[in-house]
Structure 1
Amino acid sequence: MKKIFSCIFYIILLIKMDLNASAAIMQSKINYTVTFPEAQAHYTHIEMTITGLTQGFVDVKMPVWTPGSYLVREFAKNVEGFVAEANGEKVAASKTSKNTWHIESGSASSVKISYDVYCFEVSVRTSLVDASQGFLSTSGMFMYPDGMLHEPSTLHIIPYQGWKTVSTSLEAVGGDPFTLYSPDYDTLFDSPIQVGNQDVFDFDAAGVKYEVAMCGGGNYDKGRLKKDITKIVEQETAIYNDNPNKRYVIIVHNYAKGGGGLEHLSSTVLGATRDGYTNEATYHNFLVLVAHEHFHLWNVKRLRPFALGPFDYEKENYTTNLWIAEGFTTYYQSLIMRRANLYALDDHLKIVADNLSGIDNQPGSKIQPVSEGSFDAWIKFYRPNENSANTTISYYNKGAAIAMLLDLEIIYASKATMCLDDVMKYMYDEYYKAKKRGYTDAEFKIALEKFTGKNLDDFYKKHINGVDVIDYDNYLNYAGYKLVNTLANRNDAFLGISLAPITGRNIIASISRNSPAWVAGVSANDELLAIDGASVSDLDKYLAKKKPGDQIELNLNRDGIEIKLSITLSKNEQVKYSISDTGKASAEQLAVRKKWLNL
């Protein structure tokens, strides 16, 4: 009797939920139909219907960027054949800005808009359609009516011939996986859609249903992936003691050689190497990518800088806090692998040391503060050139280093009872859950001061808003470790150029700031013809025979003109760090180490 009652109760509940979804759709003013009449030529056709119009016109807009990738990409450039109709008749429509179309709807209460989108860019942030599959990066596909970002919408997808599966975090309507509902545009633009014949498998982790869609084949082991991703999910959920999703979708695009990822509210899109899953190093790199993008479902998608939501889809959304949003996430990606026992201790410490080496070897680390690197991501980080290493620093790498310093400071100050996790959970609870908004620079700094027990004005001045050299040993010593430069005693000669061999020619790709080549006037795009009158097939091998102070003569081809430059080589000051035990760690230091590294 009890079982019968329970079944009836759940049937009524499901019917009620379905009716609620149906009611929401009936109230919806915006509907899309998506077809692929020329998928083989990389085109998607979209019909958009807007109802409930009262003012005689409507403006529709295409976003210019996608959240999580801080670059104006001008998605409207891919739009063709824009047509508007009302009451079955074509109506006047004109383009009034790079991403805006003005439609004269007259007395009609609804309009139908049709347009094609060219989808042929391989990345996790752009759409790609061909005869085998369709990946729709929604912010670059769907226009929105001006002033109606809060409105719900429905999407009906008519698949290309032979396509049978849809993977997305958007909810299906009425049991039809090809009919999807979005409560607003922030959700729609944060919910990519994969259509085709991807291999889909699922599992439960931290009380959430996880769905993995493998696109493009691959030599992956589903059982191993389920087990290892579950470990990552549970370790990350434990930090916040909350997993805000009921369902989370991981879309993986497998290529001959792939990488990269983009976070979304309840999903992520990852690039991977199709046949790399049986190579341990490549497989672990994939898991690190999973750990990074999944950590974003808290850090940036919910716990976020104030500027990153609600979004303005027409222009840059500036923040100085990407060193937290991306840098802290980069720090945690390796730490989570360590906590999940997917990384051995030595492997994790090597990753930390390598990151510090990369920062100190980049001349731009002495030029650009990490807060400025965050703010200028729109014009610098995503638009690198031959001089970028000399002028910029990655908020991913520098932010991860800052996170490590603060983590060790908190563990030390709390006598190994707290760590950076406590800051992240506090901020998540305080700003996402309680205040339901993003944080400001000052608010995050106050939280860090709360847990470090220190005024961080000087720290911020030197390391966030400044470019002072970081005394890593000061922090590592809290855990009984020290940083060792394994190249400290070498006396190698240094020229300061990197080569990009192009069809057998040694083309100079970049020049290191203040290097001998920089001082002598060597330029990127010069062709290195000879050194000391002889052609050089292996520059590193040639320089290994030289010592600091030696003079060499370079023959260069610059725009068809041969020039000669005399250069005096300097000492190579680049570092290669490792993290070593001091050999005399106290009980207090060992306690910090245990807390930090999950020993």
Structure 2
Amino acid sequence: MKKNKLSIIFSLILLLMATTGMAADNTQITYNISFPEAQAHYADIELKITGLKQDELELKMPVWTPGSYLIREFERNIESLRASANNKPLAAVKTRKNIWKLHTAGIDAVTVKYRVYAFEISVRTSFIDATHAFLSSPDMFLYPGNMLHAPATIHIKPYKEWNAVSTSLEKVNGDTFTRYSPDFDILFDSPIEIGNQDIFNFDADGVHYEVCMQGGGNYDKERLKNDLAKIVAEEVAIYGENPNKHYTFIVHNALKSGGGLEHLSSTTLGASRDAYATDRGYQNFLSLAAHEHFHLWNVKRLRPIVLGPFDYDNEAYTTNLWIAEGFTAYYQDIIVRRTQLYTPENYLGVLAEDINLLENSEGAKVQTLSEASYDAWIKAYRPNENSGNSTISYYTKGSIIALLLDLEIINDSKGQYSLDDVMKYMYNEYYKIKKRGYTDAEFKAGLEKFANKNLDDFYAQYINGLTPVNYNHYLGFAGYKLTDELADTNEPTLGITTVPNIPRLFVATVTRNSAAWKDGINVNDEIIAINDEPVTEAGKLLTGKKVGDKIKVTVIRDGLSMDIPVTLLKSNKVKYKIEELPDAGAQQLAVRKKWLTLK
């Protein structure tokens, strides 16, 4: 390219920077948040931007939140947006569902006020009432579209007697109600809990941890401190470092709740407030905490290449959510096992449940693992009555794939390596050295490095194909096998589920290739009789019936009664348990010892 062309291009770039408004060094962004009507689920937000040097300013609302792969259109909850400059109204023209444009020629400061309605209870959406406010930042904060790298200060005016803030954002001058974010990627990755939550702390591997408990519960603080610290230590041991100075667990305890969402230096968890006192409930909570904390390496730093820097306007497609989420789902339970908080039997039971979940899914015969990852945006977060027949969870199958690879690597290296070594290598190579995410081919190469073999066939069968998993081949490396407890049964089934917790029998799902599927029972049918005998309980639909029986099912469909002849088929459900092989050899026992951290 000739010198005069370079000069012209450079001049055009300077002009473009001036007219499109790249954020100047002296631009200051401040949010003031108040809750004058918290009881009605509203936050009032005032956004102030000073130091402007541009003719136009676009204000945007993210349409999704990282870690939750669905376009959620948060802007639908914004009300009463008004802008002003120099104490005069300034037009804010909506140019897209999530964008407002302001003409700012000759203006160096603008103020924008708006209200946000927040009444969606989940770990990924904001919720406000008179007891507390949970702010999931992407659905609260408008941002200047060309200033993602600009810092922002957040001032919080609490509602009535609220006295605490829990977030990973840094305090300003020690003020808990004033927080600072170095850029918007950090702000959108830092949820904020405000209220009178119960807060306790612990330190692990030189990192300070805050645990915020909102909603009460029968938890034991000291026990949680000790056990969470053990989980942290086991996860740090894999990667060799904890990249945080501090980390925040925000836990929302409710009558029935679950799920979690990872962030760079924090997580939000949903838990059932009265489940901590049961072994299963407590172990489930530890497993969830281990999952989301593991994400601070896998996903938040070691990540598929499209998952950062983020495009907050559009989907970020990847075929690798089975690694990002599935591998994390595998580690959540093996980590708890390593702390000895699961017995080996506990762990193998949890593993068998995952296998049963996948193998009892008709979708496992339809959707590949890479497809499940890529289509998360349109399928995983939008399940319908047919999802079980057509889709799989990249969490569940991804965790099983991690299991297979872990066992294979341990076995083939004679205990020298495990999947841990792959994760540490990829973290160092891509996050720390290359400072970017990995491609599908690069992660496959990392697996092959420690498996010491080509994985083309493995990928063709289990990642990009629909080959049934050969569980006994891999479990055999550790001297185990699967046994189906239902193998010798001959129980009939319609192949339906019904809507729970109501006194009538409405069909909720119909399983592919079941009797109901083949003979035409539909979702939303109300079953009222079998062979003219009234039925009101799902458990008694087939009392006294056997495989091959021809029955008459009377249903109400769209207000009309109809009789449907059905031929009962055998249930093809499996119920696997993992058992020891009676003649496990020395190498199998050595693999088992390393895999399950046996003493």
Question: Which amino acid in the other structure matches residue 66 of structure 1?
Answer: T
Task: State how far apart, in whole Å, the 2-side matches of 1:545 and 1:183 are.
Answer: 68
Q: Which residue of 2 aligns with 1:514?
A: 513
Q: In structure 2, how many angstroms separate the alpha carbons of the residues matched to 1:484 and 1:105?
A: 70
Instruction: Give the aligned residue type for 2:415.
Output: A
Contiguous gaps of at least 5 residues in structure 1 = 1-24
Instruction: Check if 1:203 corresponds to 2:193.
Output: no
- Please give the alpha-carbon distance, in whole angstroms, between the structure 2 residues aligned to 1:197 and 1:113: 29
In 1: Cα distance, 2:374 partner to 2:420 partner: 25
Q: Match for residue 547 of structure 2?
A: 548
- Identical columns (%): 58
**1:442-463: CA deviations, max 9, x gaps?**
0000011111111111111111
- Per the TM alignment, residue 122 of structure 1 is displaced from its structure 2 partner at its CA by 0.8
1:259 counterpart SS class: coil
1:335 matched residue in structure 2:
334
Say which is worse superposed, 470-479 or 52-61, in terms of deviation: 52-61
Separation in 1 of the partners of 2:57 and 2:500? 53
Distance (whole Å) between structure 2 residues aligned to residue 135 and residue 92 of structure 1: 31
Q: What are the equivalent positions in structure 2 for 1:253-402 lying under 5 Å apart?
A: 253-402=252-401
Distance 2:397 2:380 in 1: 13
- C-alpha displacement at 1:544, in angstroms? 5.1
Task: Report if the CA contact (8 A) 1:390-1:512 is conserved.
Answer: yes
Residue 355 (structure 1) shift: 0.8
Alignment of 1:118-129 (within 5 A): 118-129=117-128
Distance 1:501 1:357, change over 3 A: closer
Deviations 1:495-531, CA, capped at 9 Å, x for gaps:
1111115642210001000111101111101111111
Tell me, what secondary structure is at the counterpart of 2:482?
strand
TM-score by length of 2: 0.95
Q: Is the 8 A contact 1:493 1:544 kept in 2?
A: no
One-letter amino acid matched to 2:584: A
Mapping of 1:64-103 within 5 angstroms?
64-103=63-102
Partner letter of residue 304 of structure 2? P
For residue 537 of structure 1, report the CA deviation from its aligned partner.
Answer: 2.9
Per-residue deviation, 1:312: 0.6
Cα distance, 1:441 vs structure 2: 0.3
Partner of 1:21: none
User: How many equivalent pairs are there?
Assistant: 576
8 Å Cα contact 1:252-1:272 kept in structure 2? yes
2:561 corresponds to:
562
**Maintained 8 Å contact 1:62/1:100:** yes
**Residues 28 and 154, structure 1, Cα contact 8 Å, conserved in 2:** no
Seen in structure 2, the aligned counterparts of structure 1 residues 325 and 156 have a Cα distance that, compared at 3 Å, is same
- Answering whether residue 45 of structure 2 is matched by residue 53 of structure 1, we say no
Secondary structure of the corresponding residue to residue 306 of structure 1 = coil
In the alignment, the residues of structure 2 paired with residue 277 and residue 26 of structure 1 have an alpha-carbon distance, to the nearest angstrom, of 49
Match of 1:30 in 2: 29
Distance 1:28 1:174 in 2: 20
Distance in 1 separating the partners of 2:87 and 2:211:
42
For 1:325 and 1:332, locate their aligned partners in 2 and report how far apart those are by CA, in whole Å.
Answer: 11
Instruction: For residues 392-417 of structure 1, give each alpha carbon's deviation from its aligned partner in whole angstroms, at most 9, with x where no partner exists.
Output: 00000000110000000100110011
The whole-number CA distance in structure 1 between the counterparts of 2:281 and 2:88 is: 56
Within-5 A mapping of 1:447-466: 447-466=446-465
What is the correspondence of 1:485-496 to structure 2 with a 5 Å cutoff? 485-496=484-495
Counterpart-to-counterpart distance in 1, 2:273 and 2:549: 47
Measure how far apart 1:439 and its partner are.
0.4
Between stretches 492-501 and 285-294, larger displacement belongs to: 492-501
User: Please, which runs of 5 or more residues in structure 2 have no aligned partner?
Assistant: 1-23
Q: Deviations over 1:331-351 (max 9, x none)?
A: 111101100011011110011
Bigger Cα displacement from structure 2, 561-570 vs 379-388: 561-570
Q: Which residue identity is paired with 2:310?
A: F
So what's the TM-score if we normalise by structure 1?
Answer: 0.95
- In structure 1, the partner of 2:7 is none
Once the two structures are TM-superposed, the CA of residue 538 in structure 1 deviates from its matched residue by 3.1
After superposition, residues 440-479 of structure 1 pair within 5 angstroms as: 440-479=439-478
- Equivalent position of 2:12 in the other structure: none
Structure 1: how far apart are the matches of 2:334 and 2:419? 11
Secondary structure of the 1:353 match is: helix
Q: Which runs of 4+ in 1 moved over 6 A?
A: none
CA distance in 1, matches of 2:438, 2:25: 36
Query: Is the CA contact 1:492–1:544 (under 8 Å) kept in the aligned structure 2?
Result: no
1:580 aligns with 579
How far has the Cα of 1:275 moved from its partner? 2.1
Q: Aligned to 2:228, what secondary structure does the other structure show?
A: helix
Whether contact under 8 Å (2:155, 2:178) holds in the other structure is yes
